[in-house]
Amino acid sequence: MSDKPLAAALSILAAMAIIGFIDQFVRLLAEQSSLWTFHLLRSLLMWTIVLAWAVAVRRRLRVVSWRGLAGRSLTISVAMILYFGALGFLPVAQVAAGLFTAPLWILLMSTAFGQRIGPVRIAAVAVGFLGVMLVLAPDPSRLSPLVLAPVLAGAFYGVGALATRAWCAGEGTLELSMGVFTCMGLWGLLGVLVMGTGDGFLTRGWVVPDATVWGVIAIQAVGSLVAVLLLTRGYQLAEASVASIFEYSVLGFSAVFGWFLWGESLGPTGLLGLVLIATAGSVVVLRSERAVA
């Protein structure tokens, strides 16, 4: 398939706009549901949609390596649990900024296996983490693990990205996606069984969903599937080093939708942080691609 960078850009931008929009409503779940109920029901709904589609088009799910798929799914599901847990308390743009430190973590972890990096990428890592600090703007007197959860999510997501290349090269996109959603559903089931009748998003167990909760879950399930398809299409239409840069648009979409829907504003410092993260991540991706080539 020939490269179509404009079509790839539009596809990925559409996917990031969807994610930046649907994730805004997770905060509604924090008020009346639980993280665990959400993940359990969303995974069940997504499997219902996928199985109905697979039967309709006679598409079989095929797994090449169950061990590799399970390892990758577990790692990325931990990242997503941290990500969605933080969404219950922090603006989407802030949480996304932490998640998108993944390329920086990948680079740092690669050095542990002997990969040499030059001064440009070292500087990019420093700039990227400076951007994270500007976005999160943690007050030392009020520093809590919750504020750092998005950055930890980025680290786990980076491990998942490395696992994709090392363990799951022969897997299909649908199988990779549903592996993660299955693990997230299992996390939800565990949380429902273990957690009691707490009064917080993270500490509540099973909460009977009302119309609002079902609406958010449906938006998340359908929106996530559409976004994954658009993202996959984008990577089919252009080189990964080019396509991946457009994923950083989710930082801008998250900030815009957060302002439009909830009146949130990161301020000049936070917006500068988003720019630094996107710039640093893009530099790391492009320089890494050149090093491989």
- Reported as a pLDDT band with limits 50, 70 and 90, residue 293 is very low
Query: CA 94 to CA 82: how far, in whole Å?
Result: 13
Query: CA 228 to CA 148: how far, in whole Å?
Result: 26
- Averaged pLDDT score across all residues of the chain: 86
Query: CA 192 to CA 251: how far, in whole Å?
Result: 31
Mean pLDDT across 88-93: 88
pLDDT (0 to 100) of residue 108? 81
- Reported as a pLDDT band with limits 50, 70 and 90, residue 204 is very high
Domain locations in the chain as residue ranges: 5-292
Kindly tell me if the per-residue pLDDT of 138 is higher than 60: no
The count of residues in the chain is 293
Per residue in 150-159, pLDDT (tens digit) is 999 999 988 8
Query: CA 135 to CA 147: how far, in whole Å?
Result: 11
pTM for the whole structure:
0.86
Nearest to 106 by CA among 93, 124, 88: 124
Q: Is 11 exposed, middle or buried (0-12, 13-18, 19+ CB in 10 A)?
A: buried
Contacts of 192 (CB under 8 A, 6+ apart): 34, 36, 37, 40, 205, 206
Per residue in 161-201, pLDDT (tens digit) is 888 878 888 888 889 889 999 999 999 999 999 997 778 89
Inter-residue contact 192 to 207 (CB < 8 Å): no
Mean pLDDT across 246-258: 89
In the chain, the amino acid numbered 34 is: S
